Amino acid sequence: MPKALLVLQDGFYLEGESFGASGTFVGEVCFNTSMSGYQEILTDPSYRGQLVTLTYPQIGNYGVNGEDSESESPQAAGLIIRSLAVRPSNWRASESLEQYLVRHGVGAIHAVDTRALVLHIREKGALNGVLTTERMSVDEASLLAQDYQYGAIDFVGQVTTKEPYLFDEQGKLSKIFGDRDLLPEPKVPVAFLDYGTKKNILRSLRRRGFRCYVFPARTNAAEILASGARAVFLSNGPGDPAVLDYAVDTVRGLVGKLPIYGICLGHQIIARALGGSTYKLKFGHRGANHPVKELASGRILITSQNHGYAVDEKTLPAGVQVTHVNLNDGTCAGLRFEQAQISAVQFHPEACPGPRDAELFFDAFARETGEKSKP
């Protein structure tokens, strides 16, 4: 395998072997602690503009298949792993991870000390990096990483749908879940704002009888209200919510007029629309085993998470209640504004693969919108 170099903006570097596309790839370096799900991680639009480090030591052992992607193609800028499984062994695999990355032009490096890299990020905080197979010195790569302005880029504009559409994967869902999970006829129309959604959020809503009309991120409140939707759902997505004033303005125009639910970036946009603020975490929450406490019941949920920003609960206005708390660091993991029928969570209740503890979030949305939609 050809050599590859990973350099962070502070000069920290690792030399390894390339197993993806050739070239130079720039992004914010982050890490995910999940033991499986690399295909879902790579295709999650929330990773747009990031070089993703996976902490599980061997990646690629079950290959890549045509059903588990969360979007149409990889979204991460690059992949960093300890060891590549060269020969995948799984009956569902259609190609190897290496073949998949090369085909889509995504850079990747292995045979590096991912533990040292993660410890460095945990100590120093989030850092930009350069992954390259080209002839480049450490100093040159470090300067290139320093010039990258991750927090200033509107990644949502890059990953949102270009045109509105009606989501319906009934045939595919029937194939996956079979007779044990028959699909209800979609009856409740929902306006779904796509900030970079994972397909499984839409599938989770479809399985509960929602007819999801997916709108581009820049759709305004008047268009949503004119659509005939009975509720609004805000998706996950990449980047800093502070650069998404257009999304905040849309949600602000919907408050009190329709029930609103949100996940991850949707949670942050709701907080900003209600008058709160967000901030960048030191190194983010990304993994499949993050404990979250539901304050009303005291129940502990094991959740899947992927975010680098958080809601500052101290800035939330009166009437907005924090509903969930991340037990690793005490950050806000959910909110509720009862007066306007608004709920949101920072974690991913749709996560697959991942824990299913938090799927009740969709059931609560179904109960609320079902009641609101009755004649």
Q: List active site positions.
A: 264, 348, 350
Radius of gyration for the chain, computed over Cα atoms and rounded to the nearest angstrom: 20
Burial label for 56, CB within 10 Å (0-12, 13-18, 19+), is middle
| Cα torsion 260, 261, 266, 271: sign | positive
| Cα torsion 296, 300, 302, 307: sign | positive
User: DSSP string of 135-166?
Assistant: S--HHHHHHHHHH--GGG---HHHHS-SS-EE
Q: How far is CA 88 from CA 60, 94, 99, 109, in A?
A: 6, 10, 11, 18
Nearest residue to 262 via CA among 242, 235, 285:
235
| Cα torsion 74, 50, 280, 327: sign | positive
Q: Any bridge partners for residue 294, and if so which?
A: 324
- In the three-class reduction of DSSP (H, G, I as helix; E, B as strand; rest coil), residue 367 is classed as helix
- In the three-class reduction of DSSP (H, G, I as helix; E, B as strand; rest coil), residue 314 is classed as helix
- Amino acid at site 212: C
Burial label for 295, CB within 10 Å (0-12, 13-18, 19+), is middle
Report the alpha-carbon distance of residue 154 to residue 140 in Å, rounded: 26
